Structures are given as C-alpha cells and as structure tokens.
Amino acid sequence: MSNAQAIASRLVDNVEKVIIGKRPAIESTVICLLCQGHLLIEDVPGVGKTMLAKSLAKSVGCTFKRIQFTPDLLPSDITGVSVFNEKTREFEFRPGPILAQIVLTDEINRATPKTQSALLEAMEEHQVTVDGITYLTPKPFLVLATQNPIEYEGTFPLPEAQLDRFLMRVSLGHPAPADEIAILEAQQYVHPIETLEQVVSAEELLEAQEQIKATFVDDLVKEYIVELVGASRKHPDVYLGASPRGSLALFKTAQARAGLDGRDYITPDDIKSLAEATLAHRMIISPAARIKNVDSRSLVDELLRSVPVPGTRVRAGRS
C-alpha cells in the first residue's frame, strides 16, 4: 500500500495549498478518485467547491473540462454532436466535454432533468452514445459535480437515479477563523491555483486505483457493511433506503481509506468514517419525517449507533 499511500498523500498535500483547513474533505475527494467514482460537492456559495475540483484536476496529469450547467444547456452540449463535413461529405463526431478525464459540472442542479440525464450513461457505463455510435470515456474518468443546497430558485433537484451514481457526497463548510486569515494572506497577490503544479501522472493514478483493490476485507466487516445498509431500508423514517450500489460504495471507499492510511486491511472505523458520505444522499426520507426536519445525515449517525460493530461480536463457531 506504500505506493498508493504516497500518491494519495501527494495529492492531498498539493490540493491543501489551495483549499486551506479542509483536509478531511480533500481526503474524501482523493478517496473518490482512487475508487474510480464520482463526487458531489454540496455546499453554500463561496466556500471553495469549484476551486477544490480545479485544484484536484491540476494536481493530476489528466485532461480537464468544465461545464457550467444552465437551464438552456442541451444534452448534446455535454455528449458531443455529429457535424457534416462538406469537404469529406461525411459526418464527423465533435466530442463534448464529458469525454475528458476529469469533468467539473458546476451547479449541476441548474440544468433540466433531460440534460442531467445525459450524464447517466457516462457516469455508470463510462461511455456515451451519439447517433447510435458508442464512444468510450478516457481513463481515469471522474465527474466532480457541485450544487448549492440553499438556493432553489431556478433549480431542478437531482433525481434519485442521478444521485445514486455519485460515489460520495461531501460538504466543505465555512473555514475556521485562523484558516480564513490564512486564506486572506495566501490570496493577497495571486491565487494559489495559478502556481499549483502537477504532482501525480495519470499512469501513477491508474496504478494506485488497481493497487487499492487488493485491500483485505474481513468477512465480518463485509457483514457489517451489509447490515448497515440493510438497516437504512428498514428505518421507519426512511421511504427508500440505500441500494446495493451503496454497499459497494462503502466497500470501495473503505479500501481507499485504508490505502490512504498505509494499511492493507479495512477496520470498522473506516466504515464509520465514510458511512455518511456514501449513504446519506442515497436515502429518501419519508414525508412524515421530513415534516419533523429529519435529515438523512442524522439518520446515518443513528444507524451507526444501532448496528453493532464486528468487534462486539464473534465469528460463528468461535467463542
């Protein structure tokens, strides 16, 4: 795991030069990258959502495209379009921004559901289909989406199928006073993003992605993941619990979390630290619970308290 840990540490340290005081959120973003998943960054304006995505892209030697989602954005603006070439008398495919390695979809909930759904095939199957022809996305491939959870005017909430495609959802929050002072000083003359350098190549990233898949997961830990996700489906305040994709998300991100810490095995603490980021956005709260201001994040905390961890149990057949 030393190689994966070194790559992850270089990325986290480099991004932290721009996003000050938010190391846990940066680590979650790098974990998502190592798991070949997609990340939803949800927070209020001005806390660095877009800058986090741009910093990560600049730290990795990958192609980067940014899509500003607006109500008039069309699906073809994302996937690409076939254009007739009068010289060759043939149609030529002009690839859209989704065919980059790291794609920032800014304010994803500003676009219509039809445009949002243009991302589904690319995010899940790593391909897009235009005029009956399939084009594969490059490797590595990561979609970083941002949205503002406060401003709802002129927005279109992400459908459940779209939310389920995101491996994790993270928030940045406002910086601590000391960190905010450091931000003021860092940006007095030039923004740190302007001098940020690449620290990891695409080849190194692909190697690290393969390496973390070998992280050992004990059967009791697997049972803990399944029981935790299963409990989300049985809770009285939940209309629809996390899907099996949620179990896979928790499994894969825990492997990357262990790799980031330099371990080749998963502990229950890895599961606990990632449960909210991987499960909360996959749970639909019942209307009755929503009236009582129950949110999915607090429910995940409740599930973590109610489901016994493997350390408190014994294997079958052992005393």
Identify the residue with better confidence: 16 or 317.
16
pLDDT in tens, 260-287: 888 888 999 999 999 999 988 888 888 8
What's the pLDDT at 2?
62
pLDDT in tens, 113-137: 888 888 888 888 888 888 888 888 8
Burial readout 288-310 (b: 16 or more C-beta within 10 A, e: otherwise):
ebeeeebebbebbeebbeebebb
152 pLDDT above the threshold of 70 = no
- The rounded distance, in Å, linking the Cα atoms of 234 and 222 is 19
Burial readout 194-221 (b: 16 or more C-beta within 10 A, e: otherwise):
eebeebbebebbeebbebbeebebeeeb
Residue 166 bridge partners (DSSP):
none
**Average pLDDT over every residue of 141-159:** 78
Burial readout 228-267 (b: 16 or more C-beta within 10 A, e: otherwise):
bbebbeebebbeebbbebbbbbbbbbbbbbbbbeebeebb
Provide the greatest CA pair distance for the chain.
Answer: 79
Enter the CATH code of domain 1-211: 3.40.50.300
52 pLDDT above the threshold of 80 = yes
pLDDT band at 253 (very low <50, low <70, confident <90, very high): very high
CA dihedral 70, 76, 80, 85 (to 10 degrees): -130
317 pLDDT above the threshold of 60 = no
Give the CA radius of gyration of the chain. Answer: 21
The CATH fold assigned to 215-307 is Helicase, Ruva Protein; domain 3 (1.10.8)
Q: What percent of the chain has pLDDT over 70?
A: 95
Q: Could you tell me where in the chain the CATH 3.40.50.300 domains are found? A: 1-211
pLDDT band at 318 (very low <50, low <70, confident <90, very high): very low
**Average pLDDT over every residue of 86-101:** 85
pLDDT band at 226 (very low <50, low <70, confident <90, very high): very high
Q: Could you tell me where in the chain the CATH 1.10.8.80 domains are found? A: 215-307
pTM listed for this prediction: 0.84
6 pLDDT above the threshold of 80 = yes
**For 319, how many CA atoms within 13 A lie in the half-sphere containing its CB?**
0
